[in-house]
Amino acid sequence: MTRLLLLLLFTSFSYLFSFGQGWNPVGSRAVSLANTSVCLNDVWAYHHNPGATASIRAISIGAYYETRFLTKELQTQALAVAIPLKVGVLSAGGQFFGYQQYRNTRAGLGYSMKFTDFLQVGVQGNVQTLRLGGNYGSTISGTVEAGVLAKISEKWSVGISVMNIGRQRTNPTNDRFATVLRGGFQYKPSKKVSIFAEVEKQVITKISFKGAVEYQPVQPLYIRFGAQSAPMEFALGIRYRVSGFSIDLGSKYHQTLGWSPNFGLNYQFKEHEKK
């Protein structure tokens, strides 16, 4: 059964999988918002918008785990760390996807800073490795990412990010890693509610539209809901926050392939928000 599913994935649903080519959406908050994440400015911004990390004001770390379609071969683990400096924010992150016969790893460092009060920019370098089982061996190469986040007003922010600017190849003769261009906005009518919308294009896959809502009914609790096209999926999730810790639970749902539950744990060293 698992094999059949894998075969199905590799053939007709390869697009679902294309971000396995070097980049996966990770971070429970981002995934629970159906990847409408180009404007998120927490530690997980490392994996979505290198420019958005510049808003971080305290050392933060996060870990993430997901099994796509409840299949053990399609597990993803990820990490993200952000360390604010005197000027700018240094961040690091890694994500690991796959199983023994196919494993894709990506890890690197990024730096972001506030250009002006409302404009943040950031760049990143990542090392990509791809290892196939049997006698196929592995490859290693590097990609460059960049992004900006602009806070237009109290309510509106706009973010744009590019993954793999140089369209690096997986190895000198073969396919390229996915290049992803994303642009979106966040609308925040009040402290409790955020609405996100975003467009994402990868070179060889269909353009994808996404939208999501995040709601904070009481201080420690967040509720999230989102949907996206290409692939058509919806997502939901919650976060519970206790002092510096926050625990995330969420899942995406695909009409044919089913649920992809995820789990995340984050820690922020010092509360910087004045309550």
Partner 1 sequence: MRKNRLLLLFFTTICSCVFGQERNEIIQQRVEFIAEQSESEELDLTNIFDQLNYFYDNPINLNNTNPDELRSLGLLTEVQITDALLHIERFGKFISIYELQSLKYWDLNTISLVLPFIKVDDRLENLHITFKDAIKNGKIEWYTRYQRTPERKKGYTPVSDSILNNSNGYYHGNADKYYTRFRYTYRTNISLGFTAEKDPGEEFFKGSQKNGFDYYSFHAFYKGGKYVRAVAAGDYQIQIGQGLNTWSGYAFGKSADIFSSKKAANLLRPYTSVDENRFFRGGAAIIGYKKWNLLTFYSNKKIDGSGINDSLTDDLEFVTTIDLSGLHRTNSEIAKKNKLSEQVIGNYVSYNSTRFNAGIAVVNQQYNQPLQKDTVPYNLYAFRGKNTTAISGDYNFVLKNVNFFGEVSYSTHSKSFAQLHGLMAILDPSVSISVIYRNYSKGYFSFYNNGFSEGSNTQNESGLFSGIKVRLAPAWSVSSYIDFFKFPWLKYQVDAPSKGYEFLVQPTYKPNKVFEIYARFRQQVRQKNSRDSDGTITPIEDVVQNNYRLNMSYKVLESFTLKSRVEYVTINRKSSPAEDGWIFTQDILFKPKKLPFDLTLRYALFDTDSYDSRIYTFENNALYVFSIPAYYYQGSRAYALVRFSFLRHCDLWIRYGTYLYANKNAISSGAEEIKGSKKSDITVQLRVSF
Chain positions contacting partner 1, by CB under 8 A: 187, 189-190, 192-193, 195, 211, 213, 215, 217, 225, 227, 229, 232, 234, 255-256
Q: In the chain, at which residue ranges do the beta strands (DSSP E only) sit?
A: 60-67, 75-84, 89-99, 102-114, 119-132, 138-151, 156-163, 180-190, 193-202, 208-215, 221-228, 233-242, 245-254, 258-268
Using the minimum distance from each CB to partner 1, give the nearer residue, 193 or 207: 193
H or E stretch at 32: helix 28-32
Using the minimum distance from each CB to partner 1, give the nearer residue, 234 or 263: 234
Closest distance of CB 267 from partner 1, Å: 28
Closest distance of CB 256 from partner 1, Å: 7
Q: Tell me how far apart the alpha carbons of residues 172 and 16 are, in angstroms, rounded to a whole number.
A: 25
Using the minimum distance from each CB to partner 1, give the nearer residue, 101 or 256: 256
Closest distance of CB 235 from partner 1, Å: 11
Of the candidates 74, 58, 100, 122, the one whose C-alpha atom is nearest the C-alpha of residue 268 is: 58
Closest distance of CB 157 from partner 1, Å: 14
H or E stretch at 6: helix 2-11
Residue 17 class from Cβ within 10 Å (0-12 exposed, 13-18 middle, 19+ buried)? middle
Using the minimum distance from each CB to partner 1, give the nearer residue, 147 or 231: 231
Closest distance of CB 193 from partner 1, Å: 5
Using the minimum distance from each CB to partner 1, give the nearer residue, 167 or 192: 192
Bridge partners (DSSP) listed for residue 76 = 66, 97
